[in-house]
Amino acid sequence: MKPAARWWIVVAVCGISFAVVFTGRIPFTGRIPFTGRIAVFSNAPVPPTLSVSHVTPQSRQLSAEPRDPASPLAPLSQPTFTRDVAPIIFRKCSVCHRPGEAAPFSLLTYEDACRHAAQIDVMVRRRLMPPWKAAGDFGLYSNDRRLRDDEIEILRQWIAADLARGRDEDLPPAPEFTQGWQLGEPDLELTLNEPFDVPADGPDIYQHFVIPTGLTENRLVSAFEFRPGAPEVVHHSILYFDTSGRGRELDSQDPRPGYSRLGSPGFEVGGSLGGWSPGGSPRRLPSGLGRPLEKSSDLVVQIHYHPSGRPVSDQSRIGLYFAPPESTHLVTEIMVANVELSIPAGANRHRHHAELQLPVDTILFDATPHMHQLGREIRAVAILPDGTERSLIHIPDWDFYWQDSYCFAEPVELPRGTRIELDCWFDNSDSNLLNPNSPPRTVTWGDFSNDEMGICYFQATTREWNDYVTLHTAAKQYFAELWEKYQQRVGTRQLTPE
């Protein structure tokens, strides 16, 4: 049946979106997409030069064959579900919109699509779904979830044309999703030490859980898989390594499982594996590469919980996949940031700048930007020694609630002397409905909800072993200098929420 009304208002209240027609009916409620130190192993053999074939990205594909994102769909006079709509929904929506996943309803059948046609119309035309914040051409990132303009037009025409079903013989097979671990049984499975109770409502929760790895030898990690215990409330997670024991100390100070903290884990971590968000697929690093994980280290897992309207208990699991024994190339993490941040009260577009110069030829695999609730735009570019500018990541409409890692479809190779520049823009005015301070106050760098950050992380490696050591050492020194500046700025201020 054709929707009765075509004008909508999308209202956000306490992290829930309401798409409201002018008649006052509420057809949809749900989530809104508003979405270190690493040891160089002394016992690792000196690896050979990294070959070009070693840096070809590997990623899991759904069993349904994806359409080439660069090739537009053929124009249609009257789209039908079986011929035109189902391929789009199966490819771009069903990975989250299916039983047991984070989305609030399923999109696996014609009846599902008809039942939710009104909100599909709103969310895809406003580009709120599928969630994707990065700008840039299709094909730049391997995990790009966006719909193309022609796909959106097909959905719009189908809804406007009374939701035609079409011929059964045109319906493609429903997507098949791997049950259990997507990459097979992990080499090491870790589980939250005890369940964590998420209330039915209230503010979002950011909890850090410390899990001993029990490793008795150093290993290289080529992939990880995060499996939420309660997918309906787990918004995203970030995984860190701790070799200092500081995570356990913070955990012991919080009576609940884990400890509460919005931004970083609250100490200098031993490394990071990256993050997970709904719809994300685990990906192995290119052949022969791995992230170093020291023996006896702990895994610190930050989980962002979004209450769903009913109390639930979560006990998420993490699977670690080790690189083969012959793997010798290490991947480190570099970051670009500037802790000397001060956003004046009332400023509606405050610009903040940071940069990092690469000491050696460097290969980047992904980009992970991070800001808090005052963030409005973030952009990282590489300025090559000859002055050429190359965009790495640009999010023109930052959304604290939809943070992600953006994986380059092809590894980005940057020559020695390249300068990575990061620019962040913040809105610290009354007009920012997410401003945690009322009235606005001057905001500086910090971990908590009334502080701010502007960072971009990159997983990186080099072709030569000596260059890796140089890059890794420089990354450690860069972080140490930032941490020292931050400590000087906060002085004796206690690092607890105000």
pLDDT tens, residue by residue, 389-422? 999 999 999 988 787 889 899 999 999 999 999 9
- Contact status, residue 5 vs residue 160, Cβ threshold 8 Å: no
Please state, in angstroms and rounded to a whole number, the distance separating the CA atoms of residues 476 and 36.
6
- pLDDT for res 279: 63
CATH code assigned at 343: 2.60.120.230
pLDDT per residue as tens digits for the range 251-264: 999 999 999 887 67
Percent of the chain with pLDDT strictly greater than 90: 51
| 417, 469: one domain | yes
| Range of 90-99, 152-161, 416-425, 487-496 with top mean pLDDT | 416-425
Residue 413: both structure tokens together: 């190779």
Q: How many structural domains are present in the chain?
A: 3
Complete DSSP assignment for 349-403: SEEEEEEEE-SS-EEEEEEEEEE-TTEEEEEEEEE-TTS-EEEEEEESS--TTS-
Q: Is residue 449 in some structural domain?
A: yes
Q: Is residue 435 in some structural domain?
A: yes
**For 225, phi and psi rounded to 5 degrees?**
-135, 130
Point out the least confidently predicted range of 75-79, 339-343, 406-410, 471-475: 75-79
Of the two residues 402 and 366, the one the predictor is more confident about is 366
- pLDDT for res 37: 31
**For 489, phi and psi rounded to 5 degrees?**
-70, -40
| 325, 353: one domain | no
Q: Is residue 18 in some structural domain?
A: no
- Give which of 86, 120, 144 is closest to 281, Cα–Cα: 144
Sheet containing 350-357, strands listed edge to edge, beginning at the edge strand earlier in sequence: 350-357, 419-426, 375-383, 389-395
- pLDDT for res 101: 73
| 241, 260: one domain | yes
Q: Which contiguous run of DSSP H or E holds residue 227?
A: strand 219-227
pLDDT per residue as tens digits for the range 198-242: 999 988 888 999 999 999 999 999 999 999 999 888 878 889 889
| Beta strands 342-343; 375-383: pairing state | unpaired
Q: How confident is the model at residue 342 (pLDDT cuts 50, 70, 90)?
A: very high
Query: Which residue, of 150, 170, 190, is where some domain finishes?
Result: 170
- pLDDT for res 53: 39
Please state, in angstroms and rounded to a whole number, the distance separating the CA atoms of residues 143 and 184.
20
Please state, in angstroms and rounded to a whole number, the distance separating the CA atoms of residues 358 and 377.
24
- Contact status, residue 454 vs residue 375, Cβ threshold 8 Å: yes
Query: Which residue, of 304, 330, 356, is where some domain finishes?
Result: 330
Q: How confident is the model at residue 280 (pLDDT cuts 50, 70, 90)?
A: low
Q: How confident is the model at residue 13 (pLDDT cuts 50, 70, 90)?
A: very low
Residues 6+ apart with CB under 8 A from 240: 36, 265, 269, 270, 271, 272, 273, 299, 300, 301, 302
| 377, 231: one domain | no
For residue 284, pLDDT over 80 is answered with: yes
Percent of the chain with pLDDT strictly greater than 70: 81
- Contact status, residue 406 vs residue 367, Cβ threshold 8 Å: yes
For residue 144, pLDDT over 70 is answered with: yes
| 162, 204: one domain | no
- pLDDT for res 442: 96
- Contact status, residue 404 vs residue 133, Cβ threshold 8 Å: yes
One-letter amino acid of 101: E
Q: Which contiguous run of DSSP H or E holds residue 112?
A: helix 110-115
- pLDDT for res 491: 61
What 3-state DSSP class applies to 108? Answer: coil
Q: Is residue 498 in some structural domain?
A: no
| 245, 143: one domain | no
Instruction: Please give the residue range of the domain that contains residue 126.
Output: 30-34+64-170
Residues 6+ apart with CB under 8 A from 198: 205, 230, 233, 305, 307, 308, 311, 312, 313, 314
Q: Is residue 42 in some structural domain?
A: no
Q: Is residue 40 in some structural domain?
A: no
- Contact status, residue 73 vs residue 150, Cβ threshold 8 Å: yes
Query: Which residue, of 284, 307, 330, is where some domain finishes?
Result: 330
Q: Is residue 25 in some structural domain?
A: no
| 460, 427: one domain | yes
Predicted TM-score (pTM) of the model is 0.74
| 303, 189: one domain | yes
| 337, 485: one domain | yes
CATH code assigned at 319: 2.60.120.310
| 372, 430: one domain | yes
Q: Is residue 47 in some structural domain?
A: no
Of the two residues 124 and 35, the one the predictor is more confident about is 124
Point out the least confidently predicted range of 39-48, 202-211, 357-366, 467-476: 39-48
Mean of pLDDT over the chain: 81
| 319, 336: one domain | no
| 354, 484: one domain | yes
